[in-house]
Structure 1
Amino acid sequence: MSNYFDYAATCPIDEEALEAYIKAAREFYGNTSSLHDTGTKAEVLLSHCRQTLADLLEVNKEGVYFTSGGTESNLLAIEGLMKAGKGNHMITSDAEHSSVKNSAKRLQAEGYEVSLVPLSKEGTIDVNELEKLMREDTVLVSIQHVNGDIGTIQPIKRIREVCDKWGALLHSDCVQSFGKVELNSIIPCLDSFSLSSHKVYGPKGAGALYINPSVSFQPFLPNGTHEAGVRAGTVNTPGIAAFTTAAAKSIRELHKRQSKIESLKREFLTALNDIRNHVTVVCESVNSVPIIGICMHGLEGQWVMLEANRRGYAFSTGSACQTGRGGFPSILTAVGLNEEEAKSFIRLSFSHDQTSEDILGIVDCLKEIVAEYAVLSSQIEKPAFYK
């Protein structure tokens, strides 16, 4: 039985990916930039992985750059694309991953202007407001595809239409959508996008950035010798081989996995009915994004998380990259929650490998926590669902 419900934070490595990692580490250990046969052997594997990932994404392999993960990919894209343009203005949102926000802050410190487009109560970008923020000097719009805290899917095609009117570039953090939702229909809309290995059951420390080869840009660090000069540092060949293996499997099994996730989410929401007067599901929808955000009425989200951990269950209070300091995801206030409601937030994220038994287990855990709080609050009777 699986008690782990934090797959949006990281996934265990897939067995096929692990086997690919071990084989590459043992047999393809050369530096891909070395000119001897051992280095060439590693370079051939790296080239194969690049072509495989490009084929999965239906993009030109010349635009695929392997990185250490989503954070580095976002940094390289934003720095490169902003400085490729002639303007001084960038647009992003409060829903973004901390790597995008921190890159935007860095640009502001250098004198660039950054605007934040508001969100609707459904957690999606207000495209009309985006249009109002666009300017002649807007170089880049950076909007994630799927939010990592509440699982909302952004209208990338409509955002592209606005960008085209103003001649702006469009970057998207696709870390939480790759392998979970179909990307090929939105990829033609993007000038660049980011991927991460460990979100699709690959190893940590690997990821990818795609930048359309038609876009001319300067790398963040000059004079690099790896990845066509786009990033510095010896390439993680075993990690990339395992990432590519996991990515290929996730795309090959995409429809089967989507169906399973949708089924699990329906089961979860149905089983949650017993305590629906104690919880609010944030931006509720049953789609293939394996994320559900919940506000626990009157309870501190971190307390609920720790109580669940005491019972052997693992979930989070949002992205590990931005909530570890006792805060809460900024998207919660952006979609209209007040601070008290936001502090009651927990995030559960699912896996296609989980079962109905797992779902009932986590719901029973939440019921126990609600009931325990009711008892601690000196209520005379325990709720009817308490076991």
Structure 2
Amino acid sequence: MSTYFDYAATCPIDEEALEAYVKASSEFYGNTRSLHDPGTKAEVLLSHCRKTLANLLGVNKEGIYFTSGGTESNLLAMEGLMKAGKGNHLITSAAEHSSVINSAKKLEADGYEISWVPLTMEGTIDVRELENLMRENTVLVCIQHVNSDIGTIQPIRRIRKVCDEWGALLHSDCVQSFGKVDLNSITPYLDSFSLSSHKVYGPKGVGALYINPSVSFQPLLPNGTHESGVRAGTINTPGIAAFTTAAAKSIRELHKRQSKIESLKREFLTALKDIRNHITVVCESVNSVPIIGLCMHGLEGHWVMLEANRHGYAFSTGSACQVRSEGSPSILEAVGISGEEAKSFIRLSFSHEQTSADIQGLVECLKEIVSSYSVLSS
């Protein structure tokens, strides 16, 4: 059995969330739009979940729409908000999740103008360049809160200030930050944001989109009957119940989990000291985001991943949705890492449930891989 270090890709479902899923599946099985008693019962549960999630986030429940996950949430937000605006200009970055990048390219094919704001060498949006890109016809700025490959946190408040100066809307992909950092500190500054259940130990195939009720927008598909017409398709009530349960638990235990993650990351980086000359930590910082990106000098990241897997340790070479065909996440080029060096990239993502023994075992595994390569190449 592998020791898992790929929690940024997906998490196992929490036991409480699983219990909620099973209970909702057996007792709240009605279609929420049906007018009979089973449908009404399911609708009551759905309304409770919407209110609970809104309270966790400090937002109006009227702006919460349940979706199939972060990808759909990003698509619905970008399509709806761009078509609601008076202009035709969107600004985003090349370091975004692939769902945002692909949605931007789709909008560009539909005739919208897209600008790509660069990042600083620290992995955060270059706010001065963002200011230079803003126009009178800029409708929307899309910037993720936490990067899924290297874990950098974007300056949402500063970005909001720039948007306000030009009357633009601000959407943020918060899939990697929800349950890891305090989202309530930034939700007042966002017009919309996206969430995903399976990143907070809920089931896959469930997520949420928040769009401020004061923003008037057009749904992607017209005449929908579910989720106030914003999202067509029968609601996944059991999944939403489980998502809400997992989300509530992650917020309830946020400070404890943050402290554990920071401790694990600090221990990991300290234990690497013997091989630090063989490794570059990309945009190193010890915060509560459970992601660390490494470049393994002279090694192919995919080879390191497979070797570690052979030794019982599972991690990735970047976001499962983001990695390009040549195998390097797009943010690496944005922070100045060359194409050749980017091929050596691996991503490690941690869990509050891990132990010191897990960390030490992973470090020993990486040391053995580096040592084996040194022997083979000498």
When the two structures are superposed, what TM-score results if normalisation uses the length of structure 2? 0.99
Corresponding residue number in structure 2 for 1:192: 192
- The one-letter code sitting in structure 1 at the alignment partner of 2:224 is G
CA–CA distance in structure 2, aligned partners of residues 304 and 213 of structure 1: 47
Give, in whole Å, the separation in 2 of the partners of 1:322 and 1:83: 26
Aligned to 1:147: 147
* Residue in 1 that maps onto 2:293: 293
Q: Secondary structure at the match of 2:92?
A: strand
Aligned to 2:133: 133
Residue 327 of structure 1, CA deviation: 2.1
Partner of 1:365: 365
1:375 aligned residue: 375
Deviations 1:231-264 (A, max 9, x none): 1110000000000000000000000000000000
Classify the secondary structure of the residue corresponding to 1:348. strand
CA distance in 1, matches of 2:103, 2:94: 13
Residue 281 (structure 2) aligns with? 281
For the residue of structure 2 that corresponds to 1:302, the secondary structure is helix
2:94/2:330 contact within 8 Å kept: yes
Corresponding position: 1:111 with 2:111: yes
1:340 aligned partner: 340
Q: 1:248 is paired with a residue of what secondary structure?
A: helix
Pairwise CA distance, 1:322? 2.2
One-letter code aligned to 1:152: T
Amino acid at match of 2:30: G
Deviations 1:256-309 (A, max 9, x none): 000000000000000001100000000000000000000000000000001111
Letter in 1 for 2:348: L
Secondary structure at the aligned position of 2:183 is classed as: coil
| CA–CA distance in structure 2, aligned partners of residues 232 and 303 of structure 1 | 42
Who is 1:181 aligned against?
181
Per-residue deviation, 1:2: 6.8
Query: Which residue pairs with 1:121 in the alignment?
Result: 121
Aligned AA for 1:184?
N
Q: Give the Cα–Cα distance (whole angstroms) in 2 for the partners of residues 323 and 56 of structure 1.
A: 32
Q: TM-score, normalised by structure 1?
A: 0.97
Residue identity opposite 2:75 in structure 1 = L
CA contact (8 A) 1:65 1:230 kept: yes
**For each residue in 1:313-332, what CA deviation from the matched residue of structure 2 results, as whole angstroms up to 9, or x when unmatched?**
10000000122734210000
Match for 1:27: what amino acid? E
The CA distance in 2 between the partners of 1:79 and 1:327, in whole Å, is 29
Equivalent residue for 2:25?
Answer: 25
**C-alpha distance after superposition, 1:125-178 (max 9, x if no partner):** 000000000000000000000000000000000000000000000000000000
Q: 3-state SS of the aligned residue for 1:171?
A: strand
Kept in 2: contact 1:221–1:231 (CA 8 A): yes
Residue 66 of structure 1 corresponds to 66
CA distance in 1, matches of 2:184, 2:68: 23
Q: Which moves more between the two structures, 23-32 or 320-329?
A: 320-329
Structure 2 distance, partners of 1:27, 1:60, is: 28
- My pick for the range that moved more, 323-332 or 173-182, is 323-332
Q: What amino acid is aligned across from residue 3 of structure 1 in structure 2? A: T
> Any gaps of 5 or more consecutive residues in structure 1?
380-387
Q: Which amino acid aligns with 1:21?
A: Y
- What secondary structure sits across from 2:56 in the alignment? helix
Secondary structure at 1:144 match in 2: coil
* 1:90 matched residue in structure 2: 90
How far is 1:191 from its partner?
A: 0.1
* Corresponding residue number in structure 2 for 1:203: 203
Aligned to 2:47: 47
Runs of 4+ in 1 over 6 A off after TM superposition: none
- Following superposition, the deviation at residue 118 of structure 1 comes to 0.5
Q: Which letter maps to 1:80?
A: G
Distance (whole Å) between structure 2 residues aligned to residue 251 and residue 162 of structure 1: 30
Mapped to 2, the partners of 1:158 and 1:262 lie a distance apart of: 25
Equivalent position amino acid for 1:134 in 2:
M
Find the residue that maps to 2:321 and give its secondary structure: coil
Aligned to 2:78: 78
Q: Secondary structure at the match of 2:202?
A: coil
C-alpha distance in 1 between matches for 2:153 and 2:2 = 27
1:10/1:199 contact within 8 Å kept: yes
Contact 2:2 2:309 survives alignment (8 Å): no
Counterpart CA distance in 2 for 1:297 and 1:369 is 12
Partners in 2 of 1:270 and 1:162 — Cα distance? 38
Check the 8 A contact 1:124/1:153 in 2, yes or no.
yes
Q: State how far apart, in whole Å, the 1-side matches of 2:376 and 2:113 are.
A: 50
Q: Does 1:222 align with 2:222?
A: yes
Aligned AA for 2:271?
A
Per-residue deviation, residues 317-363 of structure 1 (Å, max 9, x unmatched) = 00001227342100000000000111100000000000100000101
Contact 1:2 1:354 in 2 (8 A): no
Cα pair 1:2 1:358 within 8 Å, conserved: no
Instruction: Measure the CA separation in 2 of the matches of 1:226 and 1:375.
Output: 61
Tell me the amino acid that sits aligned with residue 254 of structure 1.
Answer: L
Provide the alpha-carbon RMSD of the alignment: 0.8
Structure 1: distance between partners of 2:203 and 2:291: 21
2:258, 2:288 within 8 Å by CA — same for their partners in 1? yes
Q: Distance in 2 between matches of 1:138 and 1:335?
A: 25
- Partners in 1 of 2:300 and 2:142 — Cα distance? 32
Question: 1:221-370 maps to which residues of 2 (within 5 A)?
Answer: 221-323=221-323, 325-370=325-370
Q: Which amino acid aligns with 1:234?
A: T
AA of the residue aligned to 1:106: K
The AA in structure 2 aligned to 1:32 is T
Q: Structure 2: any 5+ residue segments left out of the alignment? A: none
**% same residue:** 84
**Separation in 2 of the partners of 1:358 and 1:311?**
13
